[in-house]
């Protein structure tokens, strides 16, 4: 039997005050970083930036190491991590999400939750994430991403 996989992009968004942007996901009932499915003709980084803007109203930029450049090709920013996890929903059932997780730095925007997908959006001090109802791996992933990001801006 073939495993059904969906490709998604997500964003761990940091501000300049040691906080991370989280959304309370309607379907899952937990705090997560913004993200969602990659649209046709969209690269993963574009999807992560779009999802952040749609779900929270915030504009951000991808944080990464300097990229190789050549006029004959397009080079895409690599994700911070690629995670695969099992998910289930009432429409598709059990399937896998291959999630390309980017680290972003906030640029501007008033924080406003998109209520169709998330019931809340807020900035959380990194040290306080473990106190929230999140997926098990989220506090460690965000702490690691914060350490990584500090050396890149």
pLDDT at 115 > cutoff 90:
no
Closest CA to 105 of 30, 44, 18, 35: 18
Q: Which letter does DSSP use for residue 78 in this model? A: P
| pLDDT band at residue 1 using 50, 70 and 90 as cut-offs | low
* Of 17 and 92, more confident: 17
Rg, C-alpha atoms of the chain: 15
Torsion of CA 48, 123, 55, 133, to 10 degrees: 90
| pLDDT band at residue 53 using 50, 70 and 90 as cut-offs | very high
Q: What is the mean pLDDT of residues 88-104?
A: 89
Beta-carbon count within 10 A of 81 CB: 16
pLDDT at 62 > cutoff 90:
yes
């Amino acid at each position: 039997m073939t495993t059904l996989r969906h490709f998604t992009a997500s964003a761990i968004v940091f501000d300049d005050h040691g906080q991370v942007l989280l959304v309370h996901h309607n379907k899952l009932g937990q705090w997560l970083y913004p993200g969602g499915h990659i649209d046709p003709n969209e690269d993963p980084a574009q999807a992560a930036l779009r999802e952040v803007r749609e779900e929270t109203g915030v504009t951000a930029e991808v944080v990464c190491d300097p990229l190789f450049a050549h006029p004959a090709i397009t080079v895409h920013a690599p994700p911070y991590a690629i995670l695969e996890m099992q998910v289930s929903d009432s429409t598709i059932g059990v399937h896998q999400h291959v999630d390309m997780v980017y680290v972003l730095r906030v640029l501007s925007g008033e924080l406003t939750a998109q209520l169709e997908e998330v019931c809340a959006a807020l900035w959380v001090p990194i040290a306080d994430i473990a106190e929230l109802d999140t997926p098990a791996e989220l506090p460690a992933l965000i702490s690691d991403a914060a350490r990584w990001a500090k050396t890149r801006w």
